[in-house]
Amino acid sequence: RLIRAEVERCRVILERMSVQGAEPMGETAREVGVQELLHKVLERFPEPQRAYLVLEGGDDKLAAILPRQATVQSLVALVQNALDANAGQRPVSISASRVGNSVHISIRDRGDGMSAEVLEHIAEPFFTTKEPGKGMGLGTFLVRTFAERLGGRVVFDSVSGQGTTATLQLPLNSAAGDTYVLR
């Protein structure tokens, strides 16, 4: 029964992530303001979690051609991890900047940080440092997969005792007209 219950839980989570990632209908990349994306991410978090999220400056005119819904879902996964790392006690900062021909969106927590061993495995499927029942180990894996499909990447920088910064690096111009599916 336990195995069946956990398999069902995995199925529900993957189904929910697929729907939120626009799998059933596909999603066309289109121009979107990066600040708009960040505000959509904030909207996904209820109070009191939202009170711990801080948008740090940024270029209000920065825009990119991206699949909006899938990008928001990827950022939500990274922000949720940061909130979990902080245990809801310290602010999580979110910032965006243009670097060459890409946009870098960084989420920084002030948690305990990760060891080198954990960093080696952080984006592997089903790898998690969370307690049983608190995480499936799919969030960062799906974010990495999404970023790579767009020609980008996700980078993690962590210092033990000082926190972690996850940076989603995406091209400013993701082949307009292509359809992206987050699987």
In whole angstroms, what is the distance from residue 166 CA to residue 175 CA?
A: 24
Q: Decide if 169 contacts 147 (C-beta within 8 A).
A: yes
Each residue of 91-118: pLDDT tens digit? 899 999 999 999 999 999 988 888 877 7
Query: Which structure tokens are listed for 97?
Result: 């900047």
In whole angstroms, what is the distance from residue 141 CA to residue 136 CA?
A: 10
In whole angstroms, what is the distance from residue 11 CA to residue 121 CA?
A: 23
Q: What's the mean per-residue pLDDT of the chain?
A: 81
Query: Which structure tokens are listed for 169?
Result: 């690096």
Each residue of 112-126: pLDDT tens digit? 888 877 778 787 766
Q: What is the pTM of this model?
A: 0.78
CA atoms within 13 A on the CB side of 149: 20
28 against 98, higher pLDDT? 98
